[in-house]
A and B are shown apart, each in its own frame.
Chain A
Amino acid sequence: MSDALIELVDIQKHFGPVIALNGVTVSVKAGECHCLLGDNGAGKSTFIKTMSGVHKPTHGKIRIEGREVNFESPRDAMNAGIATVYQDLAMIPLMSVTRNFWMGREPEKRIGPLKFFDFTRANQVTMSEMAKMGIHLRSPDQAVGTLSGGERQTVAISRAVYFGAKVLILDEPTSALGVRQTSNVLATIDKVRKKGIGVVFITHNVRHAMAVGDRFTVLNRGKTLGTAERGNIQAEELQELMAGGQELAQLEGSLGGTV
Chain B
Amino acid sequence: MAESQPTAAPQKDERVREMSSLRKALIRPELGAICGTILVFVFFLSIASDSGMFAPEGIFNWGTVSAQFAIIAVGACLLMIAGEFDLSVGSMIGFSGIIIALMSVQWGFPTWFSILVAFALALAIGALNGYLVVKTGLPSFIVTLAFLYILRGLTIFIAIATTRKTIIGGVKDAAEGDPIAWLFGGKVFNWLFVWLADLGVVGKFVAGPKAGQPVVEGIPMLMIWALILIIFGHFLLTRTKFGNWIFASGGDAQAARYVGVPVNRVKISMFMFTAFCATIFATCQVMEFGSAAADRGLLKEFEAIISVVIGGALLTGGYGSVIGAALGALIFGVVQQGLFFAGVESSLFRVFLGVILLLAVILNTYIRRMITGER
Contacts and interface: CB of A to CB of B under 8 A. Distances in A.
Interface in B198-255: 235, 239-241, 243-245, 247-248, 251-252, 254-255
B2 A184 contact: yes
| B interface, over-half SS | loop
Contacts of A134: 2, 5, 7
Contact of B11 (A90, A93, A136): A136
B161 interface: no
Contacts of A89: 252, 254-255, 258
| A interface, over-half SS | mixed
Contacts of A183: 1-2
B19 A94 contact: no
B371 interface: yes
A134 B255 CA distance: 24
B105 to A, nearest CB: 38
B7 A78 contact: no
A141 to B, nearest CB: 10
Interface residues of B, number: 37
Nearest to A89: B255
Contacts of B19: 138
Interface stretch (A39-47, A100-108, A199-207): A100-108
Given A86-B258, A92-B318, A131-B10, A146 B373 contact: yes
Given A93-B373, A131-B7, A183-B2, A136 B248 contact: no
Interface residues of A, number: 38
A91 interface: yes
B255 A94 contact: no
Contact of B318 (A74, A94, A138, A146): A94
A74 B1 CA distance: 32
Given A74-B258, A95-B247, A117-B241, A145 B373 contact: yes
Contacts of B251: 92-95
A190 B2 CA distance: 10
Interface of B: 1-3, 5, 7, 10-13, 16, 19, 235, 239-241, 243-245, 247-248, 251-252, 254-261, 314, 318-319, 371-374
Given A103-B261, A136-B12, 18 more contacts: A75-B260, A86-B255, A92-B247, A92-B256, A95-B247, A95-B248, A95-B251, A95-B318, A99-B244, A106-B241, A115-B241, A117-B239, A117-B244, A134-B2, A134-B5, A136-B10, A138-B16, A187-B3
Interface of A: 74-75, 78, 84, 86, 89-95, 99, 102-106, 108, 115-117, 119, 131-132, 134, 136, 138, 143, 145-147, 183-184, 186-187, 190, 212
